[in-house]
Amino acid sequence: MSRCRYTVLTAALTAFLPLTLAAQTPSPLANLARTPPMGWNSWNKFACNVNEELIRETADAMVASGMRDAGYQFVVIDDCWQIARDSTGTIVADPERFPSGIKALADYVHSKGLKFGLYSDAGLLTCQRRPGSRGYEFQDARTYAAWGVDYLKYDWCAHGTQNAEASYRLMRRALDQAGRPIVFSICEWGSNKPWLWARGIGHLWRTTGDITACFDCDQHGYGFARILDMQVGLGTFAGPGGWNDPDMLEVGNEGLTAVESRAHFSLWAILAAPLMAGNDLRSMTAETRDIMTNREVIAVNQDSLGRQGRKVRDDGDLEVWVRELADGSRAVALFNRSATAAEIAVRWPEIGYPASLEARVRDLWKHRDVDRARGAYQATVPAHAVVMVRITP
Ligand code: GLA
């Protein structure tokens, strides 16, 4: 081989080597969110009224209430923590509301054995007109990593003519390069069918517009029953590492009764939805705490098979939802949307069991076995309620 050809060959190999290595180096974002993320986010209850005291007290309450031990991890500040960029382009937190700075706050949250999250936007401005990350993706990702951020919710306001997939992929690359494992929450409201492209970019993707604390209204956001309707057909896109996100919980917020909150929580568990509490953890009632820390329902949500549940029957106001679980059992939600109590039955063939099979039926809200049933199970379901059972052959 002539010296010249040798040099060209070596140069070509050297040029490709980093590419090959880069392709082999697993992204720091890989292997996160193998089950749906669990935590708390400030938006549903506090909107722009956020400050460092609230976040510290929320972290304290997450521990004291038993939520951390039940699996909740992330404490996420939504919109309005940021106020400007400095002369170097670095994002600046509101100094009046966060006088100790974001790094100190993240350290505090970490000291409680929890993880810390922030919010930004793929466009020029956030939905509350704070600076967005457009044009600053790599710089922001480096800042978040330096602060100790573990979770980023990334919104879609002021996006102009931006392409959604490209915009989210860009931030994904920025997070990869920043080198810290950060759960990436895509929030573009389902506008561009993210379930078709977001796996491998983000770990969860919103499927709808914003939720609001009501049963099935659709003014200033959707009630949870309406959002549930919009999840039909999306189940096959969810699984370990990438989840449909029907939006954060309204459990415990004014506008929902305890019965409705229980139904909402049960259905989000069946949907393999992220469980991001959206209430004031510092002052919640024991009833709300008990809903949010129901370990049997959380176990359904966090089931390792990672298969999203689906609606198997729709008799108008009476619905049956089922989720297959890793041990071969089924979680079933009997959902009564009507204003009066009703009988709802689930039949074994609807959930993939032969009619002759005998199975144990455990009520996940009563915390006891309620039947050994063959072929079907039937229960009286109060208005706007869910009866949630686990059926084990
Ligand atoms: C959008 C999102 C909400 C919340 C607000 C904040 O509406 O969908 O979840 O983050 O912006 O401004």
Options 2.60.40.1180, 2.40.50.70, 3.20.20.80, 3.40.710.10; CATH of 310-392: 2.60.40.1180
Question: pLDDT band for position 361 (50/70/90)?
Answer: very high
79 lines ligand 1 (CB under 6 A): yes
CB 77 less than 6 A from any atom of ligand 1: no
pLDDT tens digits, residue range 215-246? Answer: 999 988 999 999 999 999 999 999 999 999 99
Res 25: pLDDT:
54
CB 186 within 8 A of CB 201: yes
Segment 361-370 mean pLDDT: 98
For residue range 164-217, list pLDDT tens digits in order: 999 999 999 999 999 999 999 999 999 999 999 999 999 999 999 999 999 999
Q: Which is the closest atom of ligand 1 to the Cα of 78?
A: 10
Q: Which overall architecture, per CATH, does domain 14-301 show?
A: Alpha-Beta Barrel (3.20)
Distant-in-sequence, close-in-space partners of 337: CB < 8 Å, separation ≥ 6: 216, 225, 317, 318, 319, 384
Ligand 1 pocket test, candidate residues 50, 119, 153, 187, most atoms within 8 A of CB: 187
Q: What positions carry a catalytic annotation?
A: 155, 210
The residue ranges of every structural domain in the chain are 14-301, 310-392
Q: What is the mean pLDDT of the chain?
A: 94
> Are 361 and 372 in contact, with CB atoms under 8 Å apart?
yes
First to last CA, the chain: 70
Q: Is 245 in the pocket of ligand 1 (CB under 6 A)?
A: no
Tokens representing residue 108 in the block: 């505090």
Which whole number is the average pLDDT over 143-153?
A: 98
To the nearest whole percent, how much of the chain has pLDDT over 90?
A: 92
Enumerate the H helices of the chain as residue ranges.
3-24, 43-46, 52-64, 67-70, 102-111, 137-147, 164-178, 224-229, 258-270, 286-292, 295-301
Which residue among 44, 127, 191, 206 is best mutated to probe the pocket of ligand 1, counting the most ligand atoms within 8 A of its Cβ?
127
377 has which bridge partners? 346
If one counts every other C-beta atom within 10 angstroms of the C-beta of residue 287, the result is 12
